[in-house]
Amino acid sequence: MNKKITVLIAVVVIAAALWVMNNQRNSATTTETAPVPETSAETPADTTTTESGEGSGGIAANVAAGYENILRLATWDEPNQNDPQKTTEYYSINFQIFDRLVEAVTAGPARSELVPGLAESWEVTDDGLTYTFNLRKGVKFHNGAEFTAKDVKYTFERMLWPETEAKNQDFIDPIKGSTEVMEGTAKELSGVEIVDDYTIKVTLKEPFAPFIASLATPSVSILNMEATEAAGADFGLVPEKTIGTGAYIFDKWVLRDELLVRRNDNYWRGAPELDGISWKVVQDADTMRLMFESGEIDVFDTAVAVSQIEYFANNPKYAGNLAIGDIADTNYYSFNQRIKPFDDVRVRKALQMAVDRQGMLDALFGGRGTLSYGIIARGIIGHNPDLPAIPYDPEAAKALLAEAGYPDGFEMTVTQIANQADTLAKNELFQSMMSEIGVKVTIDQMDSAAWYAVRADGDLPSYATYWAADYNDPDNFIYTFFAPGNTVRRSFNFNNEELSKRVVAARAITVPQERIKEYQALEKAIIQDEAAWIPLFQRQHIFVVNNRVEGFKVSWNGWSDGWYYYEGLRIKP
């Protein structure tokens, strides 16, 4: 999933240029930013508020009085949608106002733990096919309606209905009957049975070991059937019509200015300590820094203002204010094995060795991150820290190209979405590195709609992007990229049939140790033996936290969007 870990442009362009000039000098002497995600949401009205509570279905009764104890955040990239099923990147509001059957909580740096949410317990049959969820009693939605099994069934079905245009259907498509619902030949899921108001049984088409982990993603947040249907197209756009069971209530959205959630006094886990959370929309890095230094915002997210990283990271005044964590992501360049010469593993391995990963990480992100040699990010179950390094060795790369029949190199095209200067900076670095081994790279900038369409047809030759974890399981990385259908849709066209079959089969392994062993073997075979893509690095995420905030945590996956209901987070009096 390409998350909202946005970067500013100028610093990346400058850094890339410096790398190229430095590299040229050395030669003379001897966020990635993901493509803009697909969206189909409408834009909210300029101002929508629920402060009076009138006509809001009883919401006002749950709203805490006052905003004295509020966490003040800033966002560069305003959400276009707060319907959890219709976004792949805007989760800040969703984490606060909705709950999930299972929650992935931060248990330590780059470490998560699955804990009961709206399902207080569950049982799985020995064959791994049937899950029985025992739902929590007495939970109320923000409009006062009681949470029951029908809301869970509705949530799953709505996510699969074609008219919803949901973005992450693959999280629940293992459920029996999902294909018929997605194709529009059925409205209800045959694999979901309401046993009673507080018990629901879910049967899968085949064993899917990461199923519980996938239910902890914000995309599978539980909706209120009646309120969501009544809201229609306003759901996710109009605060008082966007109803969940979460610790906070969506209270206000002033377009291009501010989003606000307020404390839910009736929250089933207990009312949060904070009165609320606000996100100010600030699309200028210097202005954001000045607002932080003047105390107008409490947390400065350097991922949305990369140009300010050095200012804070190297300033002794803020040495005790930095909260740092890994982003559970993998950055890479793709190969399309349908296109020559990428059908030759020797060519792919040559290009892997021609990339100066450290130089690229230094130029683009000040060296803040970890070099990658596989697929599974650090912090994800199954990450293998002992994978052999892929050396930066242009001479060995040239020798491999000559062995493959390309002693003078060849021409290749790297594609990107137009007007993404940070991606262009990365591609220009790549272009310079490839020129050292005789490979001439053309950068083709395309309209975003065309880019996605060509990629889905399997016809993009090469591109740079990153993938950040949806849920903590290697399946979210290995299957996402290298299952037979997925590898075509991502224009990889991975052509090792035996490994592809193993990728699919690994999902059904129910013994944890066996699953991890197989995923690590697949990772080495796909990336190191078959050289299916060029792994680059995993980034680091830095937050600068105001002294008035106590207990701030970087989420286990390093997302900018965090869940702000956890023990210890408070505003000092």
Give how far the C-alpha of residue 208 lies from the chain's centroid of Cα atoms, to the nearest Å: 21
Cα distance between residue 563 and residue 6, in whole Å: 18
As a whole number, mean pLDDT of residues 370-377 equals 96
Quickly count: other Cβ atoms within 10 Å of residue 529's Cβ. 12
pLDDT-derived band at 186 (thresholds 50, 70, 90) equals: very high
Instruction: Please give the pLDDT value at position 263.
Output: 96
Q: Which two tokens stand for residue 295?
A: 């105390």
Instruction: Please give the pLDDT value at position 265.
Output: 96
Share of the chain above pLDDT 70, in %: 88
As a whole number, mean pLDDT of residues 340-344 equals 97
pLDDT digits (tens, 9 = 90+) for 387-439: 999 999 999 999 999 999 999 999 999 999 998 878 899 999 999 999 999 99
Instruction: Please give the pLDDT value at position 107.
Output: 85
The 3-state DSSP class for residue 213 equals helix
Cα distance between residue 373 and residue 376, in whole Å: 9
pLDDT at 248 over 60: yes
Q: What mean pLDDT, rounded, does the chain reach?
A: 88
Q: Do residues 550 and 534 touch, judged by C-beta distance below 8 A?
A: no
Residue with tokens 């290749």: 412
Residue 568 burial (10 A CB sphere; 0-12, 13-18, 19+)? exposed
pLDDT-derived band at 305 (thresholds 50, 70, 90) equals: confident
Residue 431: CA atoms inside 13 Å, Cβ hemisphere, count?
16
As a whole number, mean pLDDT of residues 116-137 equals 97
Torsion of CA 567, 568, 572, 573, to 10 degrees: 50
Three-point CA angle 208, 213, 216, nearest 5°: 135
Cα distance between residue 308 and residue 285, in whole Å: 7
Give how far the C-alpha of residue 436 lies from the chain's centroid of Cα atoms, to the nearest Å: 34
pLDDT at 143 over 60: yes
Instruction: Please give the pLDDT value at position 43.
Output: 33
**For residues 69 and 64, which has the higher predicted lDDT (pLDDT)?**
69
pLDDT at 44 over 50: no
Instruction: Please give the pLDDT value at position 32.
Output: 34
Instruction: Please give the pLDDT value at position 12.
Output: 46
pLDDT at 27 over 80: no
pLDDT digits (tens, 9 = 90+) for 253-283: 999 999 999 999 999 999 999 999 999 999 8
Q: Give DSSP secondary structure letters for 421-490.
A: HHHHHHHHHHHHHHHTTTPEEEEEEE-HHHHHHHHHTT----BEEEEE-SSSSTHHHHHHHHSHHHHHHT
pLDDT-derived band at 57 (thresholds 50, 70, 90) equals: very low
Length of the chain: 573
Cα distance between residue 465 and residue 379, in whole Å: 19
Q: Which contacts qualify for 108-117: CB closer than 8 Å, 24 or more apart?
A: 108/556, 109/325, 109/326, 109/554, 110/325, 110/326, 110/328, 110/378, 110/379, 110/556, 110/558, 111/379, 111/556, 112/379, 112/472, 112/556, 112/557, 114/212, 114/213, 114/216, 114/472, 117/216
Domains detected in the chain: 13-36+327-539 (3.10.105.10), 47-276+552-571 (3.40.190.10)
Q: Do residues 143 and 53 touch, judged by C-beta distance below 8 A?
A: no
pLDDT-derived band at 366 (thresholds 50, 70, 90) equals: confident
pLDDT digits (tens, 9 = 90+) for 80-110: 889 999 998 889 999 999 999 999 998 887 7
Cα distance between residue 209 and residue 479, in whole Å: 12
Instruction: Please give the pLDDT value at position 564.
Output: 95
Instruction: Please give the pLDDT value at position 460.
Output: 97
Cα distance between residue 425 and residue 32, in whole Å: 10
Taking the model in full, what pTM does it have? 0.82
Which of 106-110, 408-412, 469-473, 507-511 has the highest mean predicted lDDT (pLDDT)? 408-412
pLDDT at 386 over 70: yes
Identify the bridge partners of residue 135 per DSSP, sorted by sequence position.
Answer: 119
As a whole number, mean pLDDT of residues 504-512 equals 90
